[in-house]
């Protein structure tokens, strides 16, 4: 069993994650992170955002480089479509978070993954954002994530991976549960 586990390589350093978990149990203050993004309006509905720094383990941290993102709206909204629609970033975030979780849990459980693909669908009635019908919410009606996973494991073990990944996912929590949002101006 140990041999099998040792041969499984999903490219996730589980030992480091488990080590961090243990260390942070002893030093819960270091577990307090702050994630950041900054953005600038470029014209029309086009905004450029970037991420680079964050705070964690008690000090300022940096990504290896700055990552930039364009968000805009498609041409059918009379926009120039210079980037993804902001709501699509939510789907991107959810897919990235759940899939990272699946890889980590699989590594921890000794399951070799061959392919993990997901499609995400999020219906939305835009009568909400257009202010046509106040009974319609602005956001998604729901989100459906459909995974196709090939792995050396039973259907049930794969289902358990996906379930555990949701249980530990930050983005899953963010989209399923309310969060207080404070938007301040010129402060």
Partner 1 sequence: MINVIRQLIRPVGTTDVVVVGAGHAGLAASYFLSRQSIDHVVLERGEIANSWRTERWDSLKLLTPNWQSRLPGFEYAGEDPDGFMSMPEVIQFIEEYAKYAAAPVKTHTTVQSVQRHLDAYRVVSNRGVWHAKAVVIASGACNIANKPRVSEAVPEGIASLTAHDFRNADQLERGGVLIVGASATGLQFADEIRKAGHEVTIATGEHVRLPRTYRGRDIQFWMHSTGLLNQSYEEIDDVSRARGLPSPQLVGSHDAPILDLNRLSDNGVKVVGRLMGINNGTAQFSGSLRNVCALADLKMRRLLEAIDDWIEHNPVLCDAPERFEPTRVDDNPSLLLDLQNSNVRTIIWATGFRPDYSWLDVPVLDRKGRIRHEGGVVDMPGMYVLGLPMLRRRKSSFIHGIEDDARELMAHLADYLQCGAELPGSRAA
Tell me which of 142, 181, 183, 185 binds partner 1, using CB under 8 A. 142
Separation between Cα atoms, residue 55 and residue 125, nearest integer Å: 37
159 binds partner 1 (CB under 8 A): yes
Return phi, psi of residue 52, to 5°: -150, -55
Three-point CA angle 91, 13, 25, nearest 5°:
90
177 binds partner 1 (CB under 8 A): yes
Which is closer to partner 1, CB of 43 or CB of 178? Answer: 178
Q: How many residues bind partner 1 (CB under 8 A)?
A: 15
Which is closer to partner 1, CB of 2 or CB of 186? Answer: 2
Q: Please list every residue from 13 through 72 that binds partner 1, using CB under 8 A.
A: 28
Which is closer to partner 1, CB of 12 or CB of 175? Answer: 175
Separation between Cα atoms, residue 131 and residue 22, nearest integer Å: 49
Dihedral of CA 83/185/91/110: which sign? positive
Q: Quick one: which H or E segment has residue 5?
A: helix 2-7
Interface contacts to partner 1, rule CB under 8 A: 28, 142, 156, 159-160, 163-164, 166-167, 172-173, 175-178
């Amino acid at each position: 069993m140990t041999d099998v586990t040792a041969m499984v390589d999903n490219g996730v350093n589980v030992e480091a994650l488990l080590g961090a978990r243990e260390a942070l149990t002893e030093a819960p203050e270091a577990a307090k992170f702050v994630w950041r993004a900054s953005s600038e309006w470029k014209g029309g509905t086009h905004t450029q955002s970037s991420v680079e720094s964050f705070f964690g383990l008690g000090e300022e941290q940096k990504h290896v480089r700055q990552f930039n993102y364009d968000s805009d709206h498609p041409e059918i909204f009379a926009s120039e479509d210079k980037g993804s629609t902001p709501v699509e970033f939510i789907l991107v975030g959810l897919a990235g978070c759940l899939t990272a979780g699946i890889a980590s849990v699989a590594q921890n459980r000794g399951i070799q993954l061959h392919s993990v693909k997901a499609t995400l669908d999020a219906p939305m009635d835009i009568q909400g954002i257009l202010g046509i019908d106040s009974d319609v919410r602005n956001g998604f009606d729901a989100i459906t994530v459909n995974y196709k996973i090939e792995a050396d494991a039973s259907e049930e073990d794969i289902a358990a991976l996906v379930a555990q990944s949701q249980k530990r996912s930050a983005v899953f929590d963010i989209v399923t549960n309310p969060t207080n949002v404070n938007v301040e101006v010129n402060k």
